[in-house]
Structure 1
Amino acid sequence: MTVHETPVDVWLPIPADEIDGLPEPGVSGLNYLFWDGGPDLPGDPANCAFYVVPYMKGEKIAVRPLSGMSRVRVVQTLSAGIDHVTPGIGSLPSGVRLCNAKGVHEASTAELTLALILASLRGIPGFVRGQDAEEWRSGFYPALADKTVLIVGYGSIGAAIEDRLTPFECARVVRVARSPRMGEHGPVHALDDLPELLPQADVVVLSTPLTPQTRHLADAAFLGRMKDGALLVNVARGPVVDTEALLKEVEAGRITAALDVTDPEPLPAGHPLWHAPGVLVTPHVGGSTSAFMPRAKRLLAAQLTRFAAGEEPVNVVLTT
């Protein structure tokens, strides 16, 4: 990959003067333009060589300029998933690198995953409601200790979740990814093994990307294989779970759920998930923490430094 000899545009959703370590525009030949998804584009898409997708603005905004980006060489997301960009990839020229934000969200998403597990098992939502009602809701509640946790989607976020589970004395952590392999902490099973593994798990964590293979992965059959009283935690994407199938299970009281992502999303007022028994909902905040911006800026500075030097970017997940 080489940078154009004439200046080329870089579209950033963060003002360039707020990112330390960017290549100097006068020396590198990079012209930084700010666009966070507003109605007016910052320049001609045909002049954009490096496009950083606005964060958490949705598919419509993410793909809006892609059809005009005839000279783009890198499309960089600031999310771990790329599903909001892939619908527009067909309009891009060949050889474009699509990069994700590996290294930005692992810590924050893993933190929230543990928070959701602990809050759900230990009954924290009920305690908050009890405090509001001035009710003393004592009793015995499930612990994370001695539980078997199944992580479905064992990439960098899945591994970060396991790292944080280690001090909690779980009986076992079972790992599942698209393909089987030997991981740093032990064997990683294939998705095809889920029917055998699901009945063994007390907690099932979904941290997989949204792909055609994983859309509605947690369908009626999947949920039906989970043991009575098990907890489903979704920090992946809402459509990984079949919402109607989940509602049937939680309304029957057979399993519980903690959802940072939903389908539909945002969850509209009046949707039955809001008040379904045993369901804890958070508004897609797995990566939206104080850790995001410094890590995102470091990633962009490193990627653009490589780009200016004619080197390959990191975190390439797809090449058109």
Structure 2
Amino acid sequence: MPRLRLIQTVTAGVEPYLPHVPDGVMLCNARGVHDAGTAEWAVGAMIASLREFPAFVRAQEQGRWAYRHTGVLADSTVLILGYGSIGAALERRLAGFEVEVIRVARSARDGVHAEAELPDLLPRADVVVLLVPATAATKGMVDAAFLALMKDGALLVNAARGPVVDTGALLAELESGRLRAALDVTDPEPLPEGHPLWKAPHLLITPHVAGSTPASTRRALVYVEAQLRRLHDGRPLTNIISGGY
């Protein structure tokens, strides 16, 4: 494709494409397209996990009235790791749930903590939501040491990428009963039949569906059309990937 000028993804993550982008070709992602779907999934995953919906569904299938008290999102502290456009969308959706939000990004800015502060912040969080991109720096960042800093009974929500989390370390925490998790992404992915994550306690798994919604499709079409018009008219493009993605 000697005339190739632009690669435009319809995803926010671009890690599969980066190794294949020729010199002189611009790469743009679709930052913002999946904000609504991913943020909505994260809220749903929190509520489903804390209110133990999967256990009640299993009881329903067995015809059992399994009354018990559950956890709740109200009055909890939610730490958003990777506070970008999806993180902001998530915080807007959490506004009515009476929670405290801790924002964390790679570097500090007004109202947002730096990743370097995580050792002091993680012990405060009841829920930790992962929204970081998949990069060499984030691969395995949620390791045994990271998980050990989370408080007993805390919930880990991964709406980022599977390799961000050390699967073995997470399994150990789940099997001990100390932590809970909700994963839309896994490592490996797709999760193969027989993998121990399938039977891990205190875990909700969905098959990478957070952004797979009609809203994302509609917004992707609108965004790509607008981007093509910018290209045609010679105007600056948006969401250009460069430097330290």
Structure 1 length normalisation: TM-score? Answer: 0.75
CA distance in 2, matches of 1:192, 1:263: 25
Deviations 1:38-92 (A, max 9, x none): xxxxxxx22xxxxxxxxxxxxxxxxxxxxxxxx3221111111111111223xx1
CA distance in 1, matches of 2:243, 2:149: 37
Deviations 1:205-264 (A, max 9, x none): 001101111111100100010000000000000000000000000000000000000000
> Which residue does 1:314 correspond to in 2?
238
1:93 aligns with 2:23: yes
Which of these residues, 166, 182, 200, is aligned with residue 95 of structure 2?
A: 166
> Which residue does 1:136 correspond to in 2?
65
> Which residue does 1:220 correspond to in 2?
144
1:74 aligns with 2:6: yes
> Which residue does 2:125 correspond to in 1?
201
How big is the shift at 1:317?
Answer: 2.1
CA distance in 1, matches of 2:164, 2:198: 18
Amino acid of the structure 1 residue aligned with 2:116: D
How big is the shift at 1:319?
Answer: 6.7
**What is the correspondence of 1:197-276 to structure 2 with a 5 Å cutoff?**
197-276=121-200
CA distance in 1, matches of 2:8, 2:14: 9
CA distance in 1, matches of 2:166, 2:146: 10
Which of these residues, 153, 167, 179, is aligned with residue 107 of structure 2?
A: 179
Q: CA 1:97–1:85 in 2, change beyond 3 Å: closer, same or farther?
A: same
> Which residue does 2:54 correspond to in 1?
125
CA distance in 1, matches of 2:130, 2:19: 23
Deviations 1:113-149 (A, max 9, x none): 0000000000000000000111111111111000000
Contact kept, 8 Å, 2:36 with 2:216, in 1: the verdict is no
How big is the shift at 1:177?
Answer: 0.4
- Measured on the aligned residues, the alpha-carbon RMSD in Å equals 1.2
Amino acid of the structure 2 residue aligned with 1:132: E
Contact kept, 8 Å, 1:250 with 1:277, in 2: the verdict is yes
The sequence identity of aligned pairs, in percent, is 57
> Which residue does 1:190 correspond to in 2?
114
Contact kept, 8 Å, 1:149 with 1:201, in 2: the verdict is yes
Amino acid of the structure 1 residue aligned with 2:228: L
Structure 2 regions of 5+ residues with no counterpart? Answer: none
1:106 aligns with 2:38: no
Contact kept, 8 Å, 1:97 with 1:319, in 2: the verdict is no
Task: Compare the two structures and name the one with the higher strand fraction.
Answer: 1
How big is the shift at 1:296?
Answer: 0.9
Deviations 1:238-294 (A, max 9, x none): 000000000000000000000000000000000011110000000000110011221
How big is the shift at 1:103?
Answer: 2.1
> Which residue does 1:33 correspond to in 2?
none
Runs of 4+ in 1 over 4 A off after TM superposition: none
CA distance in 2, matches of 1:93, 1:218: 33
Deviations 1:175-222 (A, max 9, x none): 10011001xxxx101111111111110000001101111111100100
Larger gyration radius, structure 1 or structure 2: 1
Structure 1 regions of 5+ residues with no counterpart? Answer: 1-44, 47-70
CA distance in 2, matches of 1:276, 1:203: 19
